[in-house]
Amino acid sequence: MQDSIDETIAVQKALNKAKSVDDIMAVVQSAKMVLGMGEEAKHAFWGLFPLALNRAYKIDMEHLSVQRLERDWIEATKDSDWPVSHTQIEEKRAEAKRRKVLDPMAKRHSSTIKSAKTPEELLEILHEVSRSDTPEIDHLFRETAVAEAFRAACLLDPDAPATDELGRALNALHSETVGREVDLASVFRDRQAELMKSRKAAARKLAEKPSK
């Protein structure tokens, strides 16, 4: 039992370190021999396919071996209690394509929020997620991105025109989400104002504390 667990962990580490799709294929083929074909080993082997595909999608989604890996997963599980279908593969591939676009965008937004000195700098987040030529951007991603930008803008300057613009965009997006008109921006403003008040109070206490 422990040997099987150790072998599975070793294979998972090898997949995470793989630099190419061919490396991944080699690891999967090796795992099939190492784990054996007992019932427990089969389950461990099937469980490696999602990890292998996730890694392969990140490296080169269009590589021919990726399609082979998808077919192998379907074949390996066809007689099991949890067979993987072509539809599931298509959904997994579609989500991987979406994440390939959205994950780097989310990192850029996070970097912009950290470096911004004025609310105006945060408008680029609104402009990027409002583009209609990026179908991977769904409503939830758009609303979340604008909400984070608005929070940051409130801390920088709650009365700036750019902050108001972000607040109006957030209200429109959230109202569409819930199906009725909601002033979410005011709720966020109040929360951020309380946060700033607490931070200033803590800073005053620290400044007033006598040095030893």
Question: CA-CA distance, 52 to 55, in Å (whole number)?
Answer: 5
* pLDDT per residue of the chain (212 residues) written in tens, 0 to 9: 445 566 778 888 999 999 999 999 999 888 876 555 566 667 777 788 999 999 999 999 999 999 999 999 998 888 888 899 999 999 999 999 999 999 999 999 999 999 999 999 999 999 999 987 888 999 999 999 999 999 999 989 999 999 999 999 999 999 999 999 999 999 988 888 888 788 888 888 888 776 65
- What is the per-residue pLDDT for 132? 76
DSSP at 84: P
Burial of 44 (0-12, 13-18, 19+ CB in 10 A): buried
The two counts, helices (H) then strands (E), for the chain are 9, 0
Q: Can you read off the two tokens belonging to residue 166?
A: 């972000």
- What is the per-residue pLDDT for 190? 87
- What is the per-residue pLDDT for 97? 93
Instruction: Find the largest Cα–Cα distance for the chain.
Output: 74
